[in-house]
Structure 1
Amino acid sequence: MNLQKKRRYSSDVNNVTNRLTTVLFIIYIIALAWILLFKLGVQFSYMEKRNVNLIPFGELFLNGKIDAGENLMNVVIFVPLGMYVGVLFSSWRSGKKFFFIFLMSLIVEGLQFIMAVGAFDITDLFTNTLGGIIGWMIFKATEKIFGDRFKAQKFINLIAGLATALVILLLFLLKMNLLPIRYQ
């Protein structure tokens, strides 16, 4: 293969990989909205009151305990955001990436309050942002391990594709009441 054909092939592969990353990111954003804003399509008329919690980890001080499960889920659900930000916005400085992750979390929390589907919770804002930063750090570590941003991106796409398929399957099974757990 001559050099010109090799460059064109490499460019075509990069374009396909970038498109795949963008599609996976869009699927992630839709799933995030469905889970956090539309509560998996479950009726949420029970949320008539809108609450605001401006005390970080306020439940620790009120009840003497933290709901570690909810905090952990908030971190985990935003890890992919950080990975996608690392891939899709590689030209941005770290501070801009972190601000974008924070802004996405702020938007989610604000929309939950506005739509009366959840409280605006400063703890969630913190844990969501932390999850995004952890995701970005995972991407950076993957990039370092592979020694190449493009190879790291392909690996992230593979993991994201598998995770997306798994999440869709689990959400379908949950929605059809085929799992031993129930969404409240």
Structure 2
Amino acid sequence: MVYFIDFILLGIVYVFLIRKWKKVKNGKSVALFSIMYFYMVLVLYVTVMPFTIPFSGTNDWFMETANFMPFRDLRLKYDGAFREIYLNILMMFPFGLLFPLIKQKGFVKTVFATFLFSFFIESYQLLSVWWNGVQMRIFDVTDLITNTLGGALGYIAYKIFRAMVRK
């Protein structure tokens, strides 16, 4: 039921955004925007949903759940560390591919937008723990790095595909 409410809210946001987007863009752009929006909703589903509402008390130990050491899990040889890195790169790869298609931005702006999206996710995870929300979510600087790398690789793939299409 909680997810249902989250998806309803995200659907309402989509309707308002698509109405605005249709006024200024053509059909191809609206389709790309829609694909990007639904992709981002799937990322939010995997990373931060259900959305936490800060009505309960606060968790004073929330910083204990955060990891500020890059690649700590890999250095400590935790099970699944390589898998997590790979999945984070793979998760943000489409962002780096779709963002320049929609916004016609270069490498630096695409990578920065990927970083901001990832930073939002990681910060929300940290805040949700502070709000006594979902305890299994943690802020992890490695996720921030690997997500951003995924966006950069997505942009490189975009440039390669674009060059191939133009030939």
Normalised TM-score (structure 2): 0.68
Residue 67 (1) aligns with residue 81 (2): yes
- Percent of paired sites with the same residue: 25
**Cα contact 2:100–2:106 (8 A) shared by 1:** no
Q: Which residues of structure 1 form unaligned runs of 5+? A: 1-13, 40-47, 149-184
Once the two structures are superposed, the pairs formed by residues 21-32 of structure 1 within 5 Å of their partners are 21-32=32-43
Q: Which residues of structure 2 form unaligned runs of 5+? A: 1-24, 51-58
Which residue identity is paired with 1:124?
D
**Structure 2 match to 1:138:** 157
**Cα contact 2:110–2:151 (8 A) shared by 1:** no
Render the CA deviation track for 1:83-137: whole Å, top value 9, x for unaligned: 11120111x3322221111111111111111112411101000111111111111
**Structure 2 match to 1:129:** 148
How many Å separate the matches in 1 of 2:144 and 2:79?
Answer: 19
Once the two structures are superposed, the pairs formed by residues 33-182 of structure 1 within 5 Å of their partners are 33-38=44-49, 50=62, 51-63=65-77, 67-90=81-104, 92-116=105-129, 117=134, 118-147=137-166
Aligned-residue offset at 1:63: 3.8
Q: Which SS does the other structure have where 2:26 is aligned?
A: helix
Aligned-residue offset at 1:36: 0.7
**Cα contact 1:57–1:66 (8 A) shared by 2:** no
Off by >6 Å, runs of 4+ in structure 1: none
Aligned-residue offset at 1:64: 6.8
Aligned-residue offset at 1:65: 6.8
How many Å separate the matches in 1 of 2:96 and 2:69?
Answer: 25
Q: Which SS does the other structure have where 2:76 is aligned?
A: helix
Q: Greater Rg, structure 1 or structure 2?
A: 1
Render the CA deviation track for 1:8-33: whole Å, top value 9, x for unaligned: xxxxxx92211110011111111111
